[in-house]
Amino acid sequence: MENSSLNKNSYNKIADRWKEIRNNSALNKPILDFLEKVKPNGNILDIGCGTGLPIAKYFSEENHFVTGIDISEKMIEIAKSREIKNAAFYVSDFFDFKTSEKFEGIIAWDSLFHFPKERQKEIYSTIYDLLLPGGYFLFTHGKQEDEHTDKMFDELFYYSCLSRNEVLDLIQNLGFELIYEIENFVEENTERDWVVLVQKK
């Protein structure tokens, strides 16, 4: 099975369990930091938005307009059912997403590592083109180059990433400014290998 289809099918299967967990999830501090930097009433793209909670809902409540995309039909169905104001949700693979809109902020919290290894380099130029000058991009990522499958909620998922140094080179060459990076981020009961915030100059 193709890797994107594997992830789509697996997320569709766990959507209800995912909803229960995310309903009660706290917002991590880097997400709050990101929103403080995005200009008021800004347009934000949420890549891998899942069920819309807690991230898209919080952005909406802070008077931003959110466009959420996710490969899982079931996740988007749940997100739409929440009737979150100032938010629109679409079933879409990131690489198939087309819009004439430009965004003040883009977030990819726990989603880039599901993208095909052979397309990881494309992510950052696409993001750069989608951002308005001065816009911010917040993402989580692995630190080591990797490609593997692993189970979550007893379903198999595909993961991949480039090395930290390669990603830093890519964003620098495009013209992003690195605002901060956090390695081995830990907060409450969650942890991430690497959290990165950049700005398009």
Tokens of residue 142, six digits: 């692995």
Report pLDDT for 188: 83
> What sign has the CA pseudo-torsion 73, 79, 85, 87?
negative
Residue 114 pLDDT more than 90?
Answer: yes
Report pLDDT for 1: 65
Label residues 136-159 b or e (16+ Cβ within 10 Å = b): bbbbbbbbeeeeeeeeeeeeebbb
Report pLDDT for 107: 98
pTM over 0.75: yes
Q: How many angstroms separate the CA atoms of 152 and 157, rounded?
A: 7
Task: State the burial class of residue 122 (Cβ atoms within 10 Å of its Cβ: 0-12, 13-18, 19+).
Answer: middle
CATH of range 3-200; options 3.40.50.720, 3.40.50.150, 2.60.40.3880, 2.40.30.10: 3.40.50.150
CB 136 within 8 A of CB 198: yes
